[in-house]
Structure 1
Amino acid sequence: MRRSQRLVLITKHLTENPNKIIPLKYFAERYNAAKSSISEDLNIIKSSLSYSMEGVLETLPGAAGGVRYRVKNSKDKIQSLLGELCELINDKNRLIPGDYIYLTDIIFSPEYSYRIGEVIAEKFLEKEPTCVLTVETKGIPLALMTARALNVPLVVARRDIKVTEGPSVNISYVSGSSGRIQNMALPKRALSEKARVLIVDDFMKGGGTARGMTELVREFNAETAGIAVFISTEEPKEKLVKNYTSLLVLEKVETLRGIIKIRPGIF
């Protein structure tokens, strides 16, 4: 195999397995090459990724070491994505009676959910989450792509208990937008003690659902590593959770006047 062919295949494997430590021995055996040759290949890939700002290749020394690809986007690339999303959402044809906005096509788009998941994952890489938690709503695709970029499991809290998932931990929480009491359940096997949990959701108004998930995490004696939402509303300014990250901020929506005003969040 020529080096050019090997470079393509190694890069493909690394980017398809983000945040996973892969020993040099794996590549040497798979492509029948000396470790010194693989090391040179990785240096070329690392330099190319750094130059193009398309990711980071980290080398970890020691017996259990190897190489790891981690998602990294330039600020310009992130701002470009957020601007593109704002342009899509600011279309008055997305308005639904009741001052709602149609977002399903964006959230369930493989292209956008993948890119949004990478941006969220990059933001929380240094927090080293061990899993991603969401609730069974439209936010599942975004949470799944975030989990993929972090190479950690996705955990989904349900509104109702499912017998097929065994014993569950159940909590009641107050919705921040409606003030109604709602339920949330998570199987006991879903989270381990001392887990570091990244909470991801599609929309936040009052922050009640996000707070419910943090309380659920606490019931498992686990730790909330961070909270990320796709869109949050500007009002109310005081949410039921603090220190959350929002990709976009909804400033105003008026169906009767055909107004949607959304902007990039502070990221």
Structure 2
Amino acid sequence: MDKYKRYERLAAIVKIFSENPNTLINLEYFVNFFGIAKSTASEDIDILKNVIEKFSFGKLITLPGAGGGVKYIPIANIKSYLPFVQEIKEKLKDPSRIIPGGFLYTADLIYSPNIVTKIGEILVFPFLDKNVDAIVTVETKGIPIALMCARTLNVPLVIIRKDSRVTEGSFVSINYISGSQRHIRSMSLARRSLQKGSKVLLIDDFMKAGGTIRGMMELMEEFDAEVVGAGVMISTEKPENKLVDNYISVFVLKNMEEEKNIIDIEISDWILKG
């Protein structure tokens, strides 16, 4: 007789997977954890797999062999996020978000755990098979989004500073030109923050011309890191010629007129097309 009933095991397995996304867990772990036969553990996983996929809660990937196991990916398909992004689009179109000077207020969305978690899941979706080693962002507003990206992939978050911190030891610093205002700025990263040769995904909250992302790419070269891509919550339609081309965004800001209280923002095509 099993020590735990099946419904108890399934609830526990869901908890384990949700706390360890994108992590390969050997079937023996569940065998030992619950004190059950391997065949019973396999049946539990099969039941859970069907339920998770039925409700588009993600997917379970089973890898055979001695070094195999089960991995939970908390993203089923990008189309399942359409109702969410449509809701956020409507929030972003609210004219009260226009800040004098032609800026768009997004802090309430970026700092909402429920919203930013899904934004992070969307941004990592195209890179699930890229074996990303770390998520890299630059302080400050990109941090919550990047943290959720790191959480989804279960990899470290690396934060580039706008100035060096003596508490982080030796650092690498570069100057770069902001794409929109053409100002010379600097960014720094502690040497121990990122291992040489890492595969990284760059994340930020907003991109206009791409100067910041370009600067991040140049800084990654100092660490011999491979940039697999970049993702931002919002990119602008203009200028059309960005300083980077390997990027995705969740939303595209087509136009914003402060005098007329107009915000024209759309969902990116790659999400709509699924």
Query: Structure 1 length as normaliser, TM-score?
Result: 0.97
The answer for the alignment partner of 1:16 in structure 2 is: 19
Report the alpha carbon displacement of residue 64 of structure 1 after superposing the two structures with TM.
2.2
The answer for the alignment partner of 2:60 in structure 1 is: 57
The answer for the alignment partner of 1:246 in structure 2 is: 249
Q: 2:116 aligns with which of 113, 117, 120?
A: 113
Q: 2:86 aligns with which of 83, 86, 89?
A: 83
User: Counterparts in 2 of 1:124-203, with a 5 A limit?
Assistant: 124-203=127-206
What count of residue pairs does the alignment treat as equivalent? 267
Report the alpha carbon displacement of residue 9 of structure 1 after superposing the two structures with TM.
1.0
The answer for the alignment partner of 2:209 in structure 1 is: 206
**Displaced runs of 4 or more, over 3 A:** 73-76
The answer for the alignment partner of 1:39 in structure 2 is: 42
Which moves more between the two structures, 234-243 or 44-53? 44-53
Report the alpha carbon displacement of residue 46 of structure 1 after superposing the two structures with TM.
1.1
The answer for the alignment partner of 1:260 in structure 2 is: 263
Report the alpha carbon displacement of residue 24 of structure 1 after superposing the two structures with TM.
1.3
The answer for the alignment partner of 2:73 in structure 1 is: 70
Query: Structure 2 length as normaliser, TM-score?
Result: 0.95
Which moves more between the two structures, 113-122 or 72-81? 72-81
Q: Distance in 1 between matches of 2:250 and 2:92?
A: 13
RMSD over equivalenced CA pairs, Å: 1.1
Cα displacement string for residues 151-194 of structure 1 (whole angstroms, at most 9, x for unaligned residues): 10000000010001011011100000110000000011111121
Q: Which runs of 5+ in 2 are unaligned?
A: none
Q: Which runs of 5+ in 1 are unaligned?
A: none
Q: SS in structure 2 opposite 1:126?
A: coil
Q: Distance in 1 between matches of 2:235 and 2:257?
A: 16
The answer for the alignment partner of 1:227 in structure 2 is: 230
Which moves more between the two structures, 232-241 or 252-261? 252-261
Cα displacement string for residues 137-156 of structure 1 (whole angstroms, at most 9, x for unaligned residues): 21100000000000100000
